[in-house]
Amino acid sequence: MSTSTETLGYWFDTFQESAFRLETLDDYSQSGSVGAYQDFLAGRPQPEAFRAADWVTTVGGAITAGKRMYRVHILSRPLTDYLRFELTWGYHRNMAAGEEFFILDTTDQPNPIPGAPDFWLFDGLTVGQMSYDEHGRYRGTEFLDEARAPEFLAYRDTAMAHAVPFPEWWAEHGE
């Protein structure tokens, strides 16, 4: 789906200051960590491969280099099984590596950015718009023309203005 030869991996290796992610789905269970998700559902402990995933190394390297990695997840309660997994296992694991998380909870308020797509925004300039099928299976990333960056900066800024830090949200709503 990419309109360039770059990949998400390329941008995670080369961004200079910040990588922001907007998550809008309630279920990404077919997009990665499928085995860990099944272990979570079955009440088994976290597999070592999940705890030591490449993503943890990517985040840790970026944070050590003085870069910021952060995301907002738009969600509503009650949480889906997948969100319980992602927030309980994934977010806590990634926070230990230095990634920051924020929650925009639409349970008691309207979504301030309805229709916003999932995306990564690198250094406020490069937009990788994510595509998923109806089952949460990742289909690819389209890198958009830099002229579209202001639209995605506005999504980011609005999401951040309405979100709360994950630890604060988790203390009130976590399981």
pLDDT tens digits for range 36-45: 999 999 999 9
d(CA 135, CA 151): 27
Q: What is the mean pLDDT of the chain?
A: 93
pLDDT for 15 beyond 60: yes
The CATH number for 87's domain is 3.30.870.10
The answer to whether residue 1 sits within a structural domain is no
Number of domains, the chain: 1
pLDDT in tens, 50-107: 888 899 999 999 999 999 999 999 999 999 999 999 999 999 999 999 999 999 999 9
Is residue 69 within 8 Å of residue 100, measured between CB atoms?
A: yes
Residue 134 lies in a domain: yes
Side-chain half-sphere exposure of 58, counting CA atoms within 13 A: 15
Closest CA to 87 of 167, 30, 18: 167
Give Cα separations from 98 to 54, 56, 59 (angstroms): 14, 9, 7
- pLDDT-derived band at 5 (thresholds 50, 70, 90) equals low
Q: What is the pLDDT of residue 63?
A: 97
The confidence score (pLDDT) of residue 2 equals: 37
The range of the structural domain enclosing residue 26 comes to 8-173
- 161 part of a folded domain: yes
pLDDT at residue number 3: 42
Is residue 3 one of the residues assigned to a domain?
no
Q: Output the pTM of the full model.
A: 0.93
Give yes or no for residue 134 having a pLDDT over 90.
no
